[in-house]
Amino acid sequence: MSRDQLYAMTRSLIAHGQAKTMELADEVVRVPASAYTDPELYAQEKERIFKRLPLMLALSCELRAPGAFKAMEVAGVPVLLTRQADGSIGAFLNMCTHRGNPLAQGSGSANRFMCGYHGWTFRNDGELLGVASPGDFGAIDKAAHCLKRFPVLERAGLIWVTLDPGSKLAIADFLCGYDAMLEHFGFADWHLFDSRQLDGPNWKTTYDGYLDFYHLPVLHANTFGSDFFNRANFFGWGPHQRLSSPSIKAQKTGSTETVDLSAMDEADWPIDALLQGVWTIFPHISIASFYGGGGRGALISQLLPGATVGESVTTQFYVMEHKPTDDAVRQGARDQFDFLKIVVAEEDYATGRRQQQALQSGLMDTVLFGRNERGGQVFHQWVAKLMAANDEELLSIFAAEKVAEAAE
C-alpha cells in the first residue's frame, strides 16, 4: 500500500509539473511572532512536545552490532541507547540509580556500564548487576534499582524514543503509517559516512526552513542556483510531512542525470523519483536525499532545543546507500557533505539567526505563511494542537489519525 502511495504522489507531482501549478493552502496564515521568542512558551514546548512525544534519536546504523551504545542529552534528559544481546534496542535514563551520576558518555561498545562515581555496575539491558562494597552499603533489592527504561521503537532503520517512561502513546500510532513510507529508503542497510553538529536559532525558526521551498532560488542563488523551483506540494501523515517540487523530471538512480518521468512507463520510474523532496518527522527531523560521491546519499538532520528560546542544536548525519570502497568515492562524499554544511550553516542557519534576533526586538506582532507555504502552516497548526492537548486528548488525536489512515 505504501508503494502505491509513492506512485500516486509521483503522478500528482508530474500532473502539476505539466500544468505548471502547485497545490495551494486555502488562505494566508498568521503566526504570533512571540511563538519564536517567548521563553515561557519555549519551556512549555520542551515539556509538552520534546519530553512527551516520540523523538527519532538515532539511526540503526549507529548501533549496528550488539553492545553498541550511544549516550546523549535531549531537552535536559540524559539518554542511553544500547543494542542488546538479542539485537533489540534499549533506551534508558542515563543515570545511576544510586545517586544519579551518568553512566556513559559519547558512543562505543560495552556489554556493561560501571558508574564512575561509586562503581555500581549495570548490564546493557539496564539490569543492576552489582553494588560496590555491598556489605557496607546495606541490603537493597537490585531488581528494583535497574535503569529507568523509556519506550522505544526501531522502524525503517531509525530509532524513536519517548522521554516519558509512563507514556501511553504507542510510538507506532504517533507515526501514522509514515514509517512504512520511510522504509522505501532502506536506511537499515545504509552506511553512516559522517556526522557533525551545528548551532542554530529557535527550533521552530529552524524547522520552518526545512519546510520552505519558497526561499530556495533566492537564499541559495549562489549554491544551488536555478537548480530548484520555489514551489512544493504537500503530503501529510498526521504531523509528519513530505514536500516535493511539482515536476516531470527526476534524478536517475545512480547518476546526476535527470529523466523525463512523463515519457516513461511507471514501472521504470527510478527510486529517486519516488522519494525526491524533503521528508520531515515531527517535531525535529528532516531527510533530504542526494547523489554524490559515487552513490546515493541522504542528509538526515536531527534538531533539538537549545539552552535558550533563541538556540537549537542540529546533528547532521550523512548516510550512504553503500560504504565507499575507494578514495575517489570517499572524497566525493566528503565534498558533498562539506557543500551541504555551507548551504545549511552559512545560508539557512545564518539567515535564521538574523531573523531570530530581529524578531526578539518585539516590534513585529505576527509572521506570515502564504498559500504557497502549506508545510509551514501545517507544522504550526500541529504544534498548537499538541501543545493544547492533555495526555488523554493526545491519545485520541492519534487514534483518530490511525482510523483515517486505515480508511485510505
What's the whole-model pTM score?
0.96
Q: Where exactly are the structural domains of the chain?
A: 2-52+173-407, 58-161
CATH superfamily of 2-52+173-407: Naphthalene 1,2-dioxygenase Alpha Subunit; Chain A, domain 1 (3.90.380.10)
- Angstrom distance (rounded) from CA 242 to CA 182: 10
Whole-number pLDDT of residue 255: 66
Mean pLDDT of 43-68: 98
CA separation, residue 244 to residues 30, 122, 137, 288 (Å) = 23, 46, 61, 10
Whole-number pLDDT of residue 398: 95
Mind listing the pLDDT tens digit for each residue in 74-91?
A: 999 999 999 999 999 999
- Angstrom distance (rounded) from CA 156 to CA 103: 29
Mind listing the pLDDT tens digit for each residue in 145-164?
A: 999 999 999 999 999 999 99
Question: At 141, is the pLDDT very low, low, confident or very high (cuts 50, 70, 90)?
Answer: very high
Mind listing the pLDDT tens digit for each residue in 190-234?
A: 999 999 999 999 999 999 999 999 998 888 988 876 566 799 999
For domain 58-161, the CATH architecture is 3-layer Sandwich (2.102)
User: What does the DSSP 8-state code read for residue 49?
Assistant: I
- Whether 29 contacts 369, CB under 8 Å: yes
Whole-number pLDDT of residue 405: 72
In our burial notation (b when 16+ CB lie closer than 10 A, e otherwise), range 74-99 reads: bbebbbbbbbbeeeebbbbbbbbbbe
Helices (H), 306-360: 327-341, 350-359
Q: Retrieve residue 258's grid coordinates.
A: 535527470
Question: Phi/psi at 341 (nearest 5 deg)?
Answer: -65, -40
Mind listing the pLDDT tens digit for each residue in 159-181?
A: 999 999 999 999 999 999 999 99
